[in-house]
Amino acid sequence: MVQEVLYLRTKSGVEVDLVIERPGRSHVLVEIKSANRIHDNDLSALLGFSKDFKKPELFCWCNEHTGRISKGVTILPWAEGIKEVGL
């Protein structure tokens, strides 16, 4: 069950699209991209924010056709990502 869904943005404009709080579980941080292919540099803001949370689950939802993991981030087609985190 999801308790709260937020977003984060720094004064310099760096942002993560979703921060999902779930009771008794780790936070989920999500970057949403419209790209068909995600590159490591697309994950930099997400990875930067991850240091501010205790063992968060990291996701990038996008238009790639198959899921994969890069730099500890689970990259999924957006519809699969929504199901994966229980939204």
| More confident of the two residues 31 and 13 | 31
Q: Are 77 and 64 in contact (CB under 8 A)?
A: yes
Q: Which of 43, 40, 2, 42 is nearest to 19 (CA)?
A: 2
Q: Both tokens of residue 35?
A: 């790209």
Q: Both tokens of residue 1?
A: 């069950």
Read off the pLDDT of residues 43-83 as tens digits, 9 standing for 90 and up: 999 999 899 889 999 999 999 999 999 999 999 999 999 99
Residue 22 has pLDDT above 90, yes or no: no
Query: Residue 53 gets which letter from DSSP?
Result: S
pLDDT at residue 27 in the model: 92
Report the pLDDT averaged over residues 26-37. 95
pLDDT at residue 1 in the model: 63
